[in-house]
Amino acid sequence: MPIDVDVAHVANLARLALSPEELDRYRQELGVILEHASRVQQVETSGIMPLSHPLGSGNVFRPDEPSPSLDREEVLEMAPESRDGFFVTPPALD
Amino acid sequence: MSPEPLSIVDAGAALRSGESTAVGLLASVLSRAEMTESELHCYLNLDREGASRAAASADEELERGVDRGALHGIPVAVKDNMCTRGLETTCSSQILSGYLPPYDATAVARLREAGAVIIGKTNLDEFAMGSSTENSAYGPTRNPWDTERVPGGSSGGSAAAVAAGSALGALGSDTGGSIRQPASLCGIVGMKPTYGLVSRYGLVAFASSLDQIGPLTRTVTDAAVLLAAVAGHDPADATSYSGPLPDFAAGLHAGVEGLKIGVVRELNGEGYQAEVSEATGDMLNRLSAQGAEVVEVSLPMFDVALSAYYLIAPAECSANLARFDGMRYGLSIKGPTAAATMAATRAEGFGPEVIRRILLGTYALSAGYFDAFYGQAQKVRSMLQSEFEAAYRKVDVLVSPASPTTAFRLGERTQDPLAMYLSDICTIPSNLSGHPAISVPISLDSKGLPIGFQVMAPALGEQVMFRVAAEVERLAGFGALPAPALAPPTRVPL
Amino acid sequence: MNWAPVIGIEVHVELDTASKMFCGCRVSFGDPPNTNVCPVCLALPGSLPVPNREAIERIIRLGLALNCRINPGSVFHRKNYYYADLPKNYQISQFDIPVCVDGWLDVESDEGSFRVGIERVHMEEDTGKSVHVGEGGRIHTAAETLVDFNRAGTPLVEIVSRPDLRSAADARAYTQELRAVVAETGVSDARMERGSVRFDANVSIRPPQSQKLGVKVEIKNMNSFRSLEKAIRAEVDRQVELVEAGEKVVMETRHWDESAGITHGMRTKEGSSDYRYFTEPDLAPMVFSESWVQEARSQIPELPARRRERYRHLGLNPGSARVLAGSEPDLRGLFEDAVESGAAPVPAANWVTGDITASLRRRNACLGDVPLHGEDLAALTAMVSQGRISARAARQVLEGVMDGEGSPTRVARARNLEQISDQAALEQVVEEVMSAHSQAVERYRSGEKKVRGFLVGQVMRATSGRADPRAVNQILSTRL
């Protein structure tokens, strides 16, 4: 059975402004995909440690040594808006 | 002018014998691109100027006796999800339209150091999410073997360019099969290295624990050569492998006698094109005839690998793609607040498949669902890796088809995400385990479409993987084929 | 009805490493905006984090100083939320396996001592800095926001206390003690005015006898001990008013408005605090060997609690021991050097926390700027206890030493401040004063005893204050 997802809530978490039609379409598609994906729940996994890193060692660090930063002009040139060396964004709260 | 495309190794020999120059090689590759691009659309961006400079410099160096090795003067293409300094890098997304990275990805920098000539940036499914290269905001790439069909994906541009001869080799990235599946569909060699072997620094992340950069080439030897140029420890990538590297090309032609080859039972049967299964079986017989011991191996977790993958990869992508918010670079659709700007920018800038996966991953990580979905998928991943390791204690390599079917038609699977996801069923397990795997073309189906054969090996088992792959290549006789014409090829191998 | 507050504090400490947590950009305060930024801390596509080893060593050291257990292994997580000054829109932080767990800190205040449990100490990265432009420069009324990413990616340690605090004053004492430990372990400059140490508080109230915790409210944006204390008071008052009006406290996050002296609701949408933590796939797990932890332990200097105890053993009273133990390291060093040079601990401590501190403040200087050393302080205290100078003169001697006029003896001599304790000379002066003020002598002898003070004063005046008052009194007694 397809899984019923509160897509509007998920879209809000993911910062995606979707139309009601889009939400409805994604809700249906996600339901089907998740139904397939939920097959993982049929696997008996008690006592199994989750795997986050496929391979590799532990303790990878860098020494505390400064390295050159980017040129500010180059950085701000990419920005939609900048002023006096700052990135300018719309206000944080409505 | 329609020059015969060469392998990297052949081109290198021609350069050193004076038969050709880097500038000449580039010209022939570019003329090939001119012939094919309007039909195939492998490239998002051909960097004629940069490539010309690099080629001239390569020639000038060779004249002075400076030889940077196997890739010196060789024209190669780079998938457009790897950063190239000052050269537009879009990931085939509107959200990065016009974006000029201020730095080179480590793999790109290593290509340059190796003297390679970077021709341009190849098309892909947006942010490498897809199996057909149809999810590109800049239009699909078509399969050189049949332009009504997809080249596979997500590295479809790289695969088609190499197949069509508009690059001698290319870099792709493989998160769930994005190198091997398009290589299979385009009749070339595509290889995903052991996780950590090639630095991911500068590869725009899709799913960090699965992504690996790897080569797409016309021959197995070329794959080893291209891999050697980009592999190796990078302090800028904390997941980069720091141990010694083997000589990937060594022992390539040692044959398979005495090797134990495991055939994965779960990667066959229902859902597999009959001709694909037959060609695979045929190749197994030939390997056996060459002295390999071929045994069937069962890895039950393969049946749920796809499910686990479609939770883990979207979960990681939901965070990796959060940075595209219209605040610092890229597309920005201004709203009344920062939050509204982000939401509008992201909804507008991402295509439907990317949005689908972000939603999927966000859901799988969200409160109340984490344990049942993402957490459970990680445990399945752990069990899958254990199964792999147990299998590799018994056999040297595992083999299977690289894709359950040959190239499908454009539009055939775009309305059914799940059907599209199933295209990667053979390739996904090695991404989950972090192990190396390669796709080698072995024959054509009745429609004249290439069939790929996958060789999987344990972690850092690239040598034995290449060795088996080279034998497969030799037995198939496919690598010697000229590049396919735009129309269905007239010459069928074997 | 009475209500008992229950308070837990989260303290964020910026480490002053040379480079950031996950990239090589400099950690530097006050540089022009967006000059210490790179692909990693700006979250440009394709960039990857690599953790700073020094930061990890520091958090281990701090955790040990806070009596924590160091987990044998630890991992980073991604904490997902969207904010314009969080470039990746996730913060690399820690979740279920932080570096340090289960510690405690003993705190001493005027009201007594108490122990605060430390739940965890974990490693994360700081955000960029937002300046809200518009009416009042406040977040609620801003028309736009200016963002500087110099701070983004600065190593940040979060220290989470258990809900062991029972008053705003306790919260203040705890954070002050914690700041001292942070400063003394050398993990951070701990400069409050730069925002190197910041506080969030979880506040709830319950009836005094109740063991059940009330609904907690998180208050954010406190950058000083004072604002922390004020914010907690205001929040407790708000909750009490609510409950007594028959309303319910709602679990939420509130913003402290320093100028208005109240907390504001953050108006965050429901569910937006679903952080979707998951293991950071870009970073390898960390493993802390026994030898690594031992090495970190060996680098912990003497901490305030231990020092207070030592000072009490030297004879200082608890208050004085607390003040001195909490003072700047150079001042404590002066005290220790003086004691080493033979000074009596109690007067030496009084000098350090009293006149010396005051004089430095007047001079707007630190100890390193003036030629005052332990042996000088020892000499000064000796001169006073031997009666060679008066307490008042001693202050002048101190100023002279700090002005660079030489050793205390030399200053006393040069400024003519040594007491006259030569019996014959003093007798001479007393004789002169008695004959000059014969009427006063008469009044004394007729029983007006308080006149004696006048006579002593005259002697002191005649000697410019250099006469030893005890000797003067003795002589007067025999003569009168």
Express each pLDDT in C152-192 by its tens digit: 999 999 999 999 999 999 999 999 999 999 999 999 999 99
Closest-CA distance, A65 to chain C, in angstroms, reads: 6
**Measured between alpha carbons, how far is B421 from C87 in angstroms, rounded to an integer?**
31
The least confident of A48-52, B294-298, C101-105 is A48-52
Q: Which of B136, B178, B318, B403 is the catalytic position?
A: B178
Per DSSP bridges, beta strands C100-109 and C69-70 are: antiparallel
CB contact under 8 A, C24 and A65: yes
Asked if B338 and C83 come within 8 Å (Cβ–Cβ), the reply is yes
Model confidence band, residue C135 (pLDDT cutoffs 50, 70, 90): low
Q: In chain A, what residues touch B306 (CB-CB under 8 Å)?
A: 36
Q: Looking at chain C, which subunits does it touch, using at least 3 CB pairs closer than 8 Å as the criterion?
A: A, B
Find the CB nearest A91 among B301, B337, B373. B337
pLDDT in tens, C39-52: 999 999 999 999 99
For residue B478, what pLDDT is reported?
A: 80
C130 close to B (CB below 8 A)? no
Residue C388 has a pLDDT of: 86
Q: Residue B5: what pLDDT?
A: 57
Residues 234-293 of C with CB under 8 A from A: 267, 269, 271-272, 274, 276, 278-279, 281, 283-287
Residue C263: pLDDT band (50, 70, 90) is confident
**Distance of alpha carbon C383 from alpha carbon C393, whole angstroms:** 10
Q: Which two tokens stand for residue C420?
A: 């006259």
Chain B residues near residue C90 by CB distance under 8 angstroms: 319, 322
Query: Is B178 annotated as catalytic?
Result: yes
Q: What is the pLDDT of residue B485?
A: 52
pLDDT interval class at C458 (50, 70, 90): confident
Is C285 in the B-facing interface, judged by CB distances under 8 Å? no
CATH code given to domain C423-479: 1.10.10.410
The more confidently predicted of residues B50 and C143 is B50
pLDDT of residue C137: 57
Selected residues 204-223 of chain B with any CB under 8 Å from a CB in chain A: 209-210
If pLDDT is split at 50, 70 and 90, which confidence band does A79 have? very high
C112: left (phi over 0), alpha (psi -120 to 50) or beta: left
Partner residue opposite C26 with nearest CB, options A66, A86, A93:
A66
> What is the CATH architecture assignment of A7-41?
Orthogonal Bundle (1.10)
Kindly tell me if the per-residue pLDDT of C428 is higher than 70. yes
- What is the pLDDT tens value at each position of chain B, 494 positions in all? 344 558 999 999 999 999 999 999 999 999 999 999 999 999 999 999 999 999 999 999 999 999 999 999 999 999 999 999 999 999 999 999 999 999 999 999 999 999 999 999 999 999 999 999 999 999 999 999 999 999 999 999 999 999 999 999 999 999 999 999 999 999 999 999 999 999 999 999 999 999 999 999 999 999 999 999 999 999 999 999 999 998 998 899 999 999 999 999 999 988 999 999 999 999 999 999 999 999 999 999 999 999 999 999 999 999 999 999 999 999 999 999 999 999 999 999 999 999 999 999 999 999 999 999 999 999 999 999 999 999 999 999 999 999 999 999 999 999 998 889 999 999 999 999 999 999 999 999 999 999 999 999 999 999 999 999 999 999 998 865 555 555 433 333 33
The CA distance from B468 to B463, in Å, is 9
Which residue among A5, A49, A90 sits closest to B334, beta carbon to beta carbon? A90
pLDDT at C90: 98
List of chain A residues whose C-beta atoms are within 8 Å of the C-beta of residue C17: 64
Using one digit for the tens of pLDDT, what is the confidence trace for C335-354?
999 999 999 999 999 999 99
Using a CB-CB cut-off of 8 Å, the residues of chain C touching A86 are: 33-34, 131, 146-148
Start and end residues for every CATH 1.10.10.410 domain found in chain C:
423-479
pLDDT at B52 (0 to 100): 98
The pLDDT value given to residue C208? 87
Whether C45 and chain B come into contact, CB under 8 Å, resolves to yes
The minimal CB distance from A39 to the residues B304, B322, B337 is found for B304
Q: With residue C4 as reference, give the H or E element that holds it.
A: strand C4-14
Nearest CA in chain C to A85: C33
Q: Could you confirm whether B121 is annotated as catalytic? A: no
Q: Amino acid identity, residue A30?
A: L
The whole-model pTM stands at: 0.90
- CB C18 to CB A66 under 8 A? yes
Q: Which among B330, B332, B417 has CB closest to A29?
A: B417
Angle at C458 between CA C452 and CA C464, to 5 degrees: 140
Q: Is the pLDDT of residue C419 over 90?
A: no
Q: For C266-288, what is the mean pLDDT?
A: 82
Chain A residues whose beta carbon lies within 8 Å of the beta carbon of residue B382: 48-51
Contacts of B239 in chain C (CB under 8 A): 281-284
Catalytic pick among B7, B92, B154, B240: B154
Cβ(B362)–Cβ(C82) below 8 Å: no
Q: Which of residues 6-25 of C touch A (CB under 8 A)?
A: 17-19, 23-25
Catalytically annotated residue among B79, B155, B400, B423: B79
Name chain C contacts of A52, Cβ cutoff 8 Å: 75, 278-279, 281
Q: Where are the beta strands (DSSP E) in C174-245?
A: 197-206, 217-222
CB contact under 8 A, A64 and C144: no
- Chains in contact with A, where contact means 3 or more Cβ–Cβ distances below 8 Å, are B, C
Q: How many residues does the structure list for chain B?
A: 494
Partners of B339 on chain C (C-beta within 8 Å) are 82
- What average pLDDT does range C383-393 have in this prediction? 87
Q: Is the CB of A86 less than 8 angstroms away from the CB of C146?
A: yes
Omega within 30 of 0 (cis) for the link into C224: no
Confidence at A1, pLDDT banded by 50, 70, 90: confident
Pairing relationship of beta strands C100-109 and C252-257 according to DSSP bridges:
unpaired
